[in-house]
Amino acid sequence: MSIFELEAESRSDQGKGASRRLRRDGMVPAVIYGGSEEPQSIKLVHSEILKRLDHEAFYSHILTVKVDGKPGKTILRDMQRHPAKAVIMHMDFMRIDESKPIRVHVPLHFVGADVAPGAKEGGLISHEVVEVALEVLPKHLPEYIEVDISAMEIGDILHLTDLKLPESGGLVELARGEGHDLPVVSIHVRRGGTEEEETADGEEAAAAEGGEEAAEGES
C-alpha cells in the first residue's frame, strides 16, 4: 500500500475515555471534516501511521483515506503528539475538492550549497524560512519547493518572490501585500570575516607589528 493511502474504520464512541481506550488498543482517534458532508469520527492503526510519518511528503501530500472501504481525498490538517512518548494522540483530516484551491504548508529543499560561490569563499548560509504556506489546486500540490542557491555570492539574498511556484500556486504571505516579501536564504560573512579576509588581516597585523619593532630598534 502507498504511504499516501490509509485504511480507517468509522467509530461512534466519543469522548476522552473512548479515545484513551482506542489508544490502549493501538488505534489513533481521528476526524475527517470539510466539504458538504458532516464531520466523521474514525480510527486508524497506530503502527501504520508511525510508518508514514517518517516520510516528509506525507505531511503535504493528498491522502486517500478509505473509511470502511470507501475512499476519499484528504490532506492532514492537524496532528497531536504525546509530549513525552512516541504516541499519536489525535489526527484531523480535511476533505478536498479537486476544483478548489487548498492552503497547505510545503517544505523548502535547498540545493546547490556545495557549489555556491559565497559558500566556497567561506560565507555562512542562513535559512530564514524552511517551509511556506501555499494556496494551490490539489492537482498541482508539490511535495516540496526546490530552492537553488548554487549561484549565490556573499551578500546575496533570495526572497519569497524568487521561489519557483507550481502552476496555480500562490504564497499566502505575499498575498498580504507590500512588505511581506520575506527573505528565504542568504549568504553572509561569518563573524570575523571569511578565511581570505582573516588571512589578509593577519598579514597586515604582522606587517604593522614588524614596522613597530623596527622603529623601536632604530630609536
Domains and CATH numbers, the chain: 5-95 (2.40.240.10), 102-188 (2.170.120.20)
Mean pLDDT to the nearest integer, 143-148: 96
Strand partners, 109: 146
Separation in Å, CA 72 to CA 135, 138, 142, 209: 21, 13, 19, 76
pLDDT at 193: 52
| Euclidean distance between CA atoms 139 and 169, whole angstroms | 11
pLDDT at 76: 96
Q: Is 197 exposed, middle or buried (0-12, 13-18, 19+ CB in 10 A)?
A: middle
Separation in Å, CA 167 to CA 139, 146, 148: 9, 14, 18
pLDDT above 80 (res 118) = yes
pLDDT above 50 (res 85) = yes
- If phi > 0 it is left, if psi is from -120 to 50 it is alpha, else beta; for residue 168 that is left
Give all strands (DSSP E) within 96-172, no chain letters: 102-111, 124-127, 131-136, 145-148, 157-159, 170-171
Q: How confident is the model at residue 194 (pLDDT cuts 50, 70, 90)?
A: very low
pLDDT above 60 (res 60) = yes
